[in-house]
Amino acid sequence: MSQPTAPTAHADHPDLQADCGNCFGLCCVALPFARSADFAADKAAGTPCSNLQEDFGCGIHERLRDSGYQGCTVFDCFGAGQKVSQVTFGGRSWRDEPDSARAMYEVFPVVRQLHELLRYTAEALDLAGAKAAHRDLRGAYDRLDALTRDTAGTLLAVDVPALRAEVNAHLLRASELARAAVPGRKKNHRGADLFGARLRGAKLRGATLRGACLIAADLSGADLRDADLIGADMRDANLSGADLTGALFLTQPQLNAARGDAATRIPGGLRRPGHWGS
């Protein structure tokens, strides 16, 4: 059986990891949420969460799930929070300069999407099997990175869907090149509705599950090595005993939203969620 891969280069990019200590609590202010199984209360966009502290920290961070804020545990800004706080707005918070608050709240989700694309592109650049796509990926990465460091006005004018489609074409090519080395015929479940599907022990090595709905799917013991999981909805999916070694474009929020155990094998650079079983 193959061994877990070493942490990939994207895991070493501090700019692509949330640094809450250098952020003005933007995810706790800019984004709305509604009372549900994921959130214990309603909150409008632009209104600080009642749990946000004066130092911009979360007062219940260590007990979010127990307090009814599971939705917070599956969100990741991929470093956009500190970028907007310290670069776009030069370290001046919405409390210090209330007139800048609205622009800051509008810029944050834009930069968050750009940082997500940066994270995927950085990972693709680390795929040895995708070297033929590296030139285009490097160009995309540099362009995205430059955009995230531009002015608020420029960021708000970005056509994010068009940019996402452009970058996704490079990511798709990288995925196909990398998975071509996987032996056998690869299954195509791109965009498939697999809600609650019984996939226990499924042979999905090298498969594409891009954008698939895997909510509450039973993937226990499944072979997901080298599978492309970009954008797959894995909320409440059972990954107990599954092997995700080398899975492509798998993110921490996806793992946090799923269920697993000590036998679940995950790619290097990602953390085993604390709520997973033993």
Residues 90, 42 share a domain: yes
User: For residues 240 and 262, is the Cβ–Cβ distance under 8 A?
Assistant: no
Check whether 5 has a pLDDT greater than 70: no
pLDDT (mean) for 32-36: 96
Check whether 3 has a pLDDT greater than 70: no
pLDDT (mean) for 46-54: 97
Residue 4 falls inside a structural domain: no
Residues 269, 193 share a domain: yes
Q: At what angle do helices 101-125 and 134-148 cross, to 10 degrees?
A: 160
User: For residues 49 and 29, is the Cβ–Cβ distance under 8 A?
Assistant: yes
Residue 198 falls inside a structural domain: yes
Check whether 10 has a pLDDT greater than 70: no
Residues 174, 188 share a domain: no
pLDDT band at 9 (very low <50, low <70, confident <90, very high): very low
What is the secondary structure of 43-58 as a DSSP string? Answer: B-TTS--TTB-TTS-B
Q: For residue 137, what is the DSSP state?
A: H
Q: For residue 205, what is the DSSP state?
A: T
Residues 167, 204 share a domain: no
pLDDT at 12: 63
The verdict on pTM exceeding 0.85 is yes
Domain, as residue range, for 53? 9-179
Find the Cα–Cα–Cα–Cα dihedral 97, 144, 119, 116, rounded to 10°: 60
Token code pair at residue 44 = 């409008």
Q: What does the pLDDT look like over 116-125, one tens digit per residue?
A: 999 999 999 9
The residue among 266, 276, 205, 248 whose CA lies nearest residue 119 is 248
Q: What does the pLDDT look like over 69-128, one tens digit per residue?
A: 999 999 999 999 999 999 999 999 999 999 999 999 999 999 999 999 999 999 999 999
Check whether 189 has a pLDDT greater than 80: yes
